[in-house]
Amino acid sequence: MGAVLERRRRRRAAGIRRSPSMKKHRILALMDVDFVPPEKIGAEVKTDQMPWRTEYDVCTTLRRAGHEVRPVGVWKDLAVIDQAIEEFKPHIAFNLLEEFQGKPHYDQHVVSYLEMMHLAYTGCGPRGLTLARDKALTKKILTYHRIPVPEFAVCPVGRKFHRPRRLEFPLIVKSLTAEASLGISQASLVDDDKSATERVEFIHEQIGTDALIERYIDGRELYVSLLGNDRVRVFPIWELLFNKMPEDIPRIATEKVKWDPKYQAKRGIVSREAKLPEEQSAALARLCKRVFRVLGLCGYARIDLRMDEQGRAYVLEANPNPQLAHGEDFADSARKVNIEYGDLLQRIVNLGMQRNRERPASVNA
């Protein structure tokens, strides 16, 4: 009896009740057409050879739980989704898309389409995706709510960069909308107007997006994972560590830092639970819950922050529908509070079903 009560307590704490959502479902897994995983992989396949690792982990884990899962590769045609809905008749779509037509800020339109089709889906709604994908819009909204963000400016494609006087060096220059640190390198950190202008031009020409220029916060890189809809649970705070990085190299999450295993090993780059005083952890959790609600996020998300030497935290960005691969930061932080990977995915499915039952589609965001 005690074990049953404990399981119920844990479900309530996560905002999940035992309901029809606990049944086995037909799940339509939406993903980039290039990331549709194979049914099985051999032991010789290494992690860096698996661009579809998240998609594989999610699909295989949900199948092990008894769900029927159909992966659907999406590029620029919504008809493939319509056809899959007609043939497969899914209970819910597990949304793993990060872009549509190659544009990250188009993914919210796919979610809007799912709402118009009255199909439940996992993760964030269109309003939250719209607000969070535009990093400048995110910062403006957070500033209005007195949530600390670095001072910033935006330089649209086709315009020359003129630094506002309020922006003091050092600055970091990145894409306004690209994800996964695309286009961020050590050259992104600039100390003078000439370097800043050159880096803005690089973003315009090579990445093809507007450029975001913000004050560089020298300090610790922190990630806070959240799970929930109206009731939000915050997992233990994670930190990106640079254990073998030379002192003269800035500790920033470049594209190389995030995605190059050889570079990670060479520089001792790892992520793990942050060592913070309990009071400070609680304050950061409250801050990130505010960000989650202010931006209209739901399902699951990760908030990225920098903390300076004085312990002041600044929100860099909010990531709706962050990476869900087994063994990555989100899953690891959930495991720290005894939520295993399969249970995590089930909770994400349950939250999508719960939101679909409790709210009209027009306000699902």
Which two structure tokens, joined as six digits, stand for 112?
């809007």
pLDDT of residue 103: 83
Contact 244, 266 (CB under 8 A): yes
pLDDT of residue 4: 46
Report the run of H or E that residue 110 belongs to, with start and end: helix 107-116
Looking at the domain covering 140-147+218-320, what would its CATH class be? Answer: alpha beta
Q: Where are the beta strands (DSSP E) in 111-176?
A: 120-121, 152-155, 171-175
* 306 φ, ψ (degrees, to nearest 5): -125, 140
Q: Give the contacts of 308 (CB within 8 A, at least 6 positions apart).
A: 217, 218, 219, 314
Distance of alpha carbon 240 from its chain centroid, rounded? Answer: 15
Query: CA-based angle 54:51:349, to the nearest 5?
Result: 15
Which two structure tokens, joined as six digits, stand for 236?
């233990």
What pLDDT band is residue 47 in, cutting at 50, 70 and 90?
low
What pLDDT band is residue 16 in, cutting at 50, 70 and 90?
very low
Amino acid at 233: R
pLDDT of residue 19: 44
The CATH number given to 2-123+339-359 is: 3.40.50.20
What's the CA gap between 95 and 92, in Å, rounded?
9
What pLDDT band is residue 49 in, cutting at 50, 70 and 90?
low
> Could you read off the pLDDT of 131-171 as tens digits, one per residue?
999 999 999 999 999 999 999 999 999 999 999 999 999 99
Contact 24, 66 (CB under 8 A): yes
**Residue in the block written with tokens 């994908």:** 133
Contact 317, 132 (CB under 8 A): yes
Task: Sketch the domain layout of the chain as residue ranges.
Answer: 2-123+339-359, 140-147+218-320, 151-215
Pairing between β-strand 219-228 and β-strand 189-190 as defined by DSSP bridges: unpaired
What pLDDT band is residue 258 in, cutting at 50, 70 and 90?
confident
**3-class state of residue 253 by DSSP:** coil
Distance of alpha carbon 181 from its chain centroid, rounded? Answer: 12
Q: What is the mean pLDDT of residues 100-129?
A: 93
pLDDT of residue 356: 76
- Cα 47 to Cα 35, 69, 253, 257, 324: the distances in Å are 14, 23, 20, 16, 14
Looking at the domain covering 151-215, what would its CATH class be? Answer: alpha beta
Mean pLDDT of the chain: 90
What's the CA gap between 58 and 42, in Å, rounded?
17
How crowded is the C-beta side of 53, counted as CA atoms within 13 Å?
14
Query: pTM of whole model > 0.95?
Result: no
Report the 10 Å Cβ neighbour count for 62. Answer: 22
**Residue in the block written with tokens 């990445």:** 207
